[in-house]
């Protein structure tokens, strides 16, 4: 995705992504629940009837999409939303990229408000400042559909139509399965987790640990290392390999960090150390296709997530009650299904270099 690639300019900027009053919980009964304990509604249950579609097509609604960053994941989500909007005769008047900057996102919202869009799709960078930034747009009449993050104090049905996100426990469980497949029932694993208050990565990491403990108790986590700067993946992995030379695998919380981990394994001459991570990225996919270190990747369905967000917005404009919390499913990627998984997730063919490597 790379939903969590943090942008660094002249110096490291650790973004204040504090989720105040909002904790997406990985429950003991292996379920991902919403901010107030809501049961998740599967994305496949969000749909418009033919009559509702016909109604929307006559309204000439407009929409805007406010993203947190640019990536393969973001582009696929935007494509899904645009395709669904187009089928409903809803014009997308703006697409923005906040570059993980809450102040820039505030400016984006102010600019878009002048266009008075009927529907807003947004991944709010900072829940606290985002609440102040988005509230005027909601008060102006835009129906807000949220990607993952909930602005502080926002109330479902009043301030937003719903949240659509990944099934985070499912992602963690799949990652644990991929680790077990890579190292066997008694492997030794180095665990790199996101050391910042960002609930999606925090909950995914927690779910991996929970699933390993519950389902693979003989796999040993020999060390846990936090990471805040995505550029530190290689340094952290190098230290792990040096300190624990008998390590069999390393878990990385998302794809750009995994790229650094892979670089560390190569520098150490350790082709035997397997890497498991979240989110599809071209570099890791190529490493996997070549049969090197990357053994497993967990991917979600950003294109379908985008379509679901658009459906939620259209239903909300019609005055239809929409679920508070909707989740999109995930799947595991190995070399055997890499090409098809890339197509299913991002709705485009894998890079030519990946396809070529798979054919060799």
Q: What is the pLDDT of residues 254-263, one digit of tens each?
A: 999 999 999 9
Q: Residue 60 and residue 81: Cα distance in Å, rounded? A: 16
Is the pLDDT at 142 greater than 60, yes or no? yes
The string of DSSP letters for 9-57 reads SSS--------TT----B-TTS-B--TTSPPPEEGGG----HHHHHHHH
Could you tell me which CATH class the domain 168-300+332-359 is placed in? alpha beta
17 contacts: CB under 8 Å, gap ≥ 6: 125, 126, 127, 196, 197, 198
- Inform me whether the pLDDT recorded for 173 exceeds 50: yes
Given a contact cutoff of 8 angstroms between Cβ atoms, the answer to whether 343 and 349 are in contact is: yes
How many other C-beta atoms can be found within 10 angstroms of the C-beta atom of residue 196? 18
Q: Which pTM does this prediction carry?
A: 0.81
Residue with tokens 């998984």: 341
Q: Indicate left, alpha or beta for 162 from its phi (over 0: left) and psi (-120 to 50: alpha).
A: left
Helices (H), the chain: 50-57, 72-87, 102-113, 127-140, 168-183, 199-215, 233-243, 255-267, 282-289, 302-317, 338-346, 352-359
At residue 107, the pLDDT reads 97
Task: Please report the pLDDT score of residue 10 as a whole number.
Answer: 31
* 276 three-class SS: strand
pLDDT on residue 180: 97
Residue 149: per-residue pLDDT: 85
The answer to whether residue 244 scores a pLDDT higher than 60 is yes
Averaged over 332-337, what is the pLDDT?
98
In tens, the pLDDT along 274-330 reads 999 998 989 999 999 999 999 999 999 999 999 999 999 999 999 999 999 999 999
**pLDDT confidence of residue 36:** 78
Which residues, in sequence order, are bridge partners of residue 294?
Answer: 275
pLDDT digits (tens, 9 = 90+) for 51-79: 999 999 999 999 999 999 888 888 999 99
User: What torsion, rounded to 10 degrees, do the Cα atoms 232, 233, 236, 242 define?
Assistant: -130
Q: Is residue 24 pLDDT above 80, yes or no?
A: no
pLDDT computed for residue 30 by the predictor: 66
Q: Per residue in 10-19, pLDDT tens?
A: 322 333 333 3
Q: Please determine, for residue 41, whether its predicted confidence score (pLDDT) is greater than 90.
A: yes
pLDDT above 90 covers what percent of the chain?
Answer: 79
- How far apart are alpha carbons 218 and 184 in whole angstroms? 9
Task: Report DSSP state, residue 250.
Answer: E
Give the pLDDT band (50/70/90) at residue 196. confident
Architecture of domain 41-167+302-328: 3-Layer(aba) Sandwich (3.40)
User: How many angstroms separate the CA atoms of 253 and 200, rounded?
Assistant: 10
8 A C-beta contact, residue 313 and residue 294: no
Which part of the chain has CATH 3.40.50.2300? Answer: 41-167+302-328, 168-300+332-359
pLDDT beyond 90 at 359: yes
pLDDT band at 201 (very low <50, low <70, confident <90, very high): confident
pLDDT of residue 9: 33
For the beta sheet containing 220-227, the strands, ordered from the edge strand earlier in sequence to the opposite edge, are 220-227, 188-194, 249-252, 274-278, 294-299, 331-333
> Please, which residues have CB within 8 angstroms of residue 281's CB and are 6 or more apart in sequence?
2, 72, 255, 256, 258, 259
Neighbours of 45 (CB within 10 A): 9
Answer whether residue 20 shows pLDDT above 80: no
Which pLDDT tens digit goes with each residue over 80-114? 999 999 999 999 999 999 987 999 999 999 999 99
Average pLDDT value for the chain: 90
């Amino acid at each position: 995705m790379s939903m969590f690639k943090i942008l660094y300019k002249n110096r490291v900027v650790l973004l204040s992504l504090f989720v105040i009053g909002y904790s997406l919980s990985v429950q003991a009964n292996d379920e991902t629940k919403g901010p107030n304990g809501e049961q998740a509604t599967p994305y496949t249950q969000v749909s418009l009837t033919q009559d509702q579609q016909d109604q929307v097509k006559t309204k000439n609604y407009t929409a805007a999409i406010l993203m947190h960053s640019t990536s393969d994941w973001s582009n696929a989500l935007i494509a899904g939303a645009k395709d669904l909007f187009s089928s409903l005769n809803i014009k997308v008047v703006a697409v923005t990229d906040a570059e993980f900057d809450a102040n820039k996102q505030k400016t984006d919202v102010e600019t878009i408000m002048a266009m008075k869009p009927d529907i807003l799709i947004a991944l709010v960078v900072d829940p606290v400042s985002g609440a102040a930034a988005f509230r005027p747009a909601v008060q102006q009449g835009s129906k807000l559909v949220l990607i993952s993050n909930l602005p502080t104090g926002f109330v479902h049905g009043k301030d937003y139509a719903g949240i659509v996100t990944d099934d985070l426990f499912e992602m963690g469980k799949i990652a644990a399965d991929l680790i077990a497949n890579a190292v066997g029932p008694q492997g030794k694993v180095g665990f790199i987790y996101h050391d910042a208050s960002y609930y999606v990565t925090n909950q995914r990491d927690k779910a991996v640990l929970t699933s390993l403990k519950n389902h693979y108790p003989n796999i040993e986590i020999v060390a846990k290392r936090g990471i805040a700067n995505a550029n530190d993946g290689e340094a952290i992995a190098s230290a792990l390999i040096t300190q624990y030379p008998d390590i069999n695998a390393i878990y990385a919380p998302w794809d750009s960090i995994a790229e650094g981990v892979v670089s560390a394994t190569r520098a150490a001459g350790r082709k035997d150390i397997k890497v498991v991570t979240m989110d599809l990225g071209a570099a890791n996919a190529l490493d996997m296709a070549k049969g090197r270190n990357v053994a497993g990747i967990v991917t979600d369905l950003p294109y379908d997530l985008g379509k679901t967000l658009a459906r939620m917005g259209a239903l909300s404009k019609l005055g239809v009650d929409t679920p508070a919390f909707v989740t999109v499913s995930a799947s595991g990627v190995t070399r055997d299904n890499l090409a098809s998984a890339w197509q299913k997730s991002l709705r485009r063919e894998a890079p030519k270099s990946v396809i070529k490597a798979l054919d060799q």
